[in-house]
Amino acid sequence: MTWVETLRAGAEAVRAHRMRSLLTMLGIVIGIASVILTVGFGQGAQQQVRDEIDALGSNLLIVSPGSSTDSGGMRGGFGSATTLTLEDAAAIGDDTAAPDVRRVAPTTSSSASLTAGETNWTTSLVGTTPSWPDVRARSLASGRFFTADEVASGAPVVVLGPDTASELLGLGSPVGQTVTIAGQRLTVIGVLDSSGASESGGSEDDQAILPISTAQALTGATSSSVSTIYVEAASQATLSAAYQEVQSLLATRHGVTTTDADFGISTQESLVETANSTNRTLTVLLTGIAAISLLVGGVGVMNIMLVSVTERIREIGLRKALGATPRVIGRQFLVEASMLGLAGGVVGLLVGVVGSWVLPPLIDQPVTLSALAVGAALLTSLALGVGFGVYPASRAARLTPIDALRSE
C-alpha cells in the first residue's frame, strides 16, 4: 500500500467520523491557538517596550532619585524621592567633571489640569531646560521651544504635545493661544512632533512642557529637587564612560558610595532588559500553560485513536485476513492520528491568526505573529499526532487477525 493510498485512507477515516474528529482536534486547536497568541503577545509587548524606550532618545542615561542602581532601575522610588537637584544636573553638565556627557536635561514632573476656554484636559506637566528636545530627540511641529532666558525668568510659556494641543485647542493653530494651569495663564509657544513610537505614542504625545522654574512656581515646589535627569552621552561608544562619570560625580556630591547610592541610573538597554524580563516571565508562564493544553490535546488524540482501534477491531481483523501486514495497519492508524494532529494545528493556527487581528484593538495590546512561531506550531501539532498515535497504532498492528475477527 503506497503512502498516497495510506494518506487517502487516513483522510477518509477522519472524514467518516467528522464530529468525533473535530472534537478530538479541539484540544490541539485550543493549544496551538493559545501558544500562537501568547507568543505573539510576548513579542508584541517586547516590540512595544523597544519602541517606547527608543523614543526616549539615543545614547540616553536616565538618572532617577531613590534606590540603588540595579537592573530594576524602573522600580523603587522612581520620581518620588527628592535626592536629585538642579545643582546635580548642572554638575553633570560641566565639561571637565563629565567630559563624555554632551547634554543634560533635568525634569520635574507632575500632573495638572489645563484649561483653554471651555475645555479641560488633564495631562502630565514636565518642567525642564532648553536642552530637553535634543536630549529626548524630539522636534517641534510648530513654534519654538523655550530659551534659557525664559527658564531664568520663569516665563509663562508652554510647549504642548501634539495630542494635548489637539485635545485642548482643536484643529486651529495652537501657537500664540493661551492655556490656564492652576490659575496661571501661559502662552503656547510651540507644539511637539509626534514621538513616532507607534503603539505607545500616547503618553509621549500628551504632555505639557514648560520652563522648570515656571513649573516649580506652578506646583508650589520650594526646593530645587528634580524627578529625573536625562543625560545624553556624546556617542554610543562613550555611553558607559558617561555612565561611570555621572555615577562617581553624583556619589561624591551626595557623599555616598556607588553601592548604596541614593540615585539610580538606567540605560535604554537596562530598561528594555527589565521590561522584557517581566514580560518574558509572563510569556514563559502562559506558553507553559498553553503547552500543557497541547499535551492534553495530544492525550485526547491518543484516547480517541484507542477508541477507534477498539471500535474498528473487526475491520482490522478483516483487513489482516485480506492481506494487510501489521506494518500497513500500524501505519494507517499512525497517519490518521498525525492527520488529526496536523489538522488541529492548522485550525488552531487559523484561530490564532484571526485572534491576532481581532484581539489587539479589544485589549489594547499588540500581537506579533512570527513565521517561527507558526512553523513551530505546525511541527508541534504534527509531532503530537505522531507521538500520541504510536501507541494506538502499535496496538492495532499487533492484534492477531483471528482475535480481531472474532471479537464482537
Partner 1 sequence: MSATTSTPPIIGLDGVRKTYRTGSLEFEALRGIDTAIREGEYVAVVGPSGSGKSTLMNILGCLDNPTAGSYLLAGEDVSTMSEAQLAEVRNRRIGFVFQQFNLLAGLPAWRNVELPLVYAGLPRQERRERAVAALERVGLADRTAHRPGELSGGQQQRVAVARALVAEPAIILADEPTGNLDSRSTADVLDLLDGLHDAGRTIVLITHEHDVAGRASRNLVIDDGRIVSDTPTARAGVPA
- The answer to the question of residue 331 lying near partner 1 (CB under 8 A) is no
- φ, ψ at 224 (rounded to 5°): -100, 25
Which of 153, 314, 370, 372: binder of partner 1 (CB under 8 A)?
A: 314
In whole angstroms, how close is the CB of 313 to partner 1 at the nearest point? 12
CB of 379 to partner 1, least distance (A): 31
Nearest to 242 by CA among 91, 57, 101, 56: 101
The residue among 2 and 222 lying less far from partner 1, judged by its C-beta, is 2
Among 284, 321, 358, 372, binds partner 1 (CB under 8 A): 321
Task: Compare residues 183 and 323 and give the one whose CB is closer to partner 1.
Answer: 323
Question: Measured from the CB atom, is 8 or 144 closer to partner 1?
Answer: 8
Out of 7, 234, 286, 328, the only residue in the binding site for partner 1 (CB under 8 A) is 328
Phi, psi of 225 (to 5 degrees): -70, 150
* Min dist. Cβ of residue 397 to partner 1 (A): 9
Residue 320 as a binder of partner 1 (CB under 8 A): the answer is yes
Q: Does 11 bind partner 1 (CB under 8 A)?
A: no
User: Residue 349: how many CB atoms within 10 A of its CB?
Assistant: 22
- Name residue 291's amino acid: A
Segment near partner 1 (CB under 8 A), from 194-202, 296-304, 313-321, 344-352? 313-321
Of 273, 406, 391, give the one whose Cα is nearest residue 337.
391
SS3 101: strand
- When the beta carbons of 144 and 314 are compared against partner 1, the nearer one is 314
CA dist list (Å): 327 to 334, 385, 393, 398 = 10, 18, 9, 9
**Of 25, 33, 212, 324, which lies in the binding site for partner 1, with binding defined by CB under 8 A?**
324
User: Under a CB-based contact definition with an 8 Å cutoff, are residues 260 and 69 in contact?
Assistant: no
Q: Is 210 helix (H, G, I), strand (E, B) or coil?
A: strand
CA-CA distance, 49 to 17, in Å (whole number)?
A: 47
Give how far Cα 238 sits from Cα of 59, 252, 404, Å: 9, 21, 78
Backbone angles phi, psi at 294, to 5 degrees: -65, -45
- Cβ closest to partner 1, residue 3 vs residue 223: 3
Smallest gap from residue 377 Cβ to partner 1 (A): 32
Nearest residue to 395 (alpha-carbon basis) of 297, 321, 302, 295: 302
Pull the grid cell for residue 127: 518642567
Is 298 or 330 the residue whose CB approaches partner 1 more closely? Answer: 330
**Count residues contacting partner 1 (CB under 8 A)?**
21
- Indicate which single residue of 319, 333, 344, 395 sits in contact with partner 1 (rule: CB under 8 A): 319
The β-bridge partners of 119 are 116
| Residues in contact with 204: Cβ distance below 8 Å, sequence separation at least 6, in sequence order | 52, 55, 161, 195, 197
CA–CA gap between residue 244 and residue 242 (Å, rounded): 5
d(CA 233, CA 239): 5
Q: Cβ–Cβ contacts within 10 Å for residue 196, how many?
A: 13
Q: With binding defined as CB under 8 A, does residue 289 bind partner 1?
A: no
Nearer to partner 1, 253 or 312 (CB): 312
* Least CB distance to partner 1 at residue 323 (A): 2
Report the site for partner 1 in 386-405 (rule: CB under 8 A). Answer: 400-402, 405
Using CB under 8 A as the binding rule, whether residue 311 contacts partner 1 is answered as no
* CA 337 to the chain's CA centroid: 36
Site string for partner 1, 13-52 (x = CB under 8 A): ---x------------------------------------
CB of 322 to partner 1, least distance (A): 5
* 252 touches partner 1 (CB under 8 A): no
* 359 in contact with partner 1 (CB under 8 A): no
Nearer to partner 1, 108 or 332 (CB): 332
Chain positions contacting partner 1, by CB under 8 A = 1-2, 5, 16, 314-315, 318-328, 400-402, 405
